[in-house]
Amino acid sequence: MPEDSLDDDVMDNVTPVVFVLSDARGKTAAGVVEAAADQFGEDAVIIKQLGNVRSVDMVKDYLDRNLDPGVPVAVFHTLVDRNLRRDIRRELDKRGIPSIDLLGPAITVLSTLTDQEPIYQPGHRTDTEVQEVQ
């Protein structure tokens, strides 16, 4: 078998990694990624989480320790701080890592809808604070 074919076979067996970054626990982002991954069969991606993100340096260190050459990666994140989101996006762009901001656009739409300024604090509401339509 030619060597190129062997390399292609090895690359076909590599499972992509999705890094989930959050300034809280990361349950929201992980849930979205898991729901999306369910559309591609079992074990389509490996999900790795980093919670309590406070700085771009923390993310850089995490990526330096966890990136594996030859393994495709993406980042999904729920970060409240606008400056931190911007700085992390720049770092990911510099590394050529595709990313999805799961929270920023939602905050923007709700701010417009409510005509209120967001509080920009990590965390989440309890189930009793969220009203369900019956």
Question: Contact 33/20 with Cβ under 8 angstroms?
Answer: yes
User: CATH no. for residue 31?
Assistant: 3.40.50.2300
Band of residue 128 on the pLDDT scale cut at 50, 70, 90: very low
Render pLDDT for 20-64 as a digit per residue (tens, 0 to 9): 999 998 898 999 999 999 999 889 999 999 999 999 999 999 999
Instruction: Give the whole-number percent of the chain exceeding pLDDT 90.
Output: 74
pLDDT of amino acid 2: 52
| More confidently predicted of 74 and 9 | 74
Establish if 34 belongs to a structural domain. yes
Altogether, the residues listed in the chain come to a count of 134
Instruction: Give me the domain span that covers residue 96.
Output: 3-129
Number of domains in the chain: 1
Q: What mean pLDDT value characterizes the chain?
A: 87
Render pLDDT for 100-120 as a digit per residue (tens, 0 to 9): 999 999 999 999 999 999 998
- SS3 string, 9-47, reads HHHHCCCCEEEEEECCCCHHHHHHHHHHHHHHCCCCCEE
Establish if 69 belongs to a structural domain. yes
85-113: average pLDDT: 96
Establish if 134 belongs to a structural domain. no
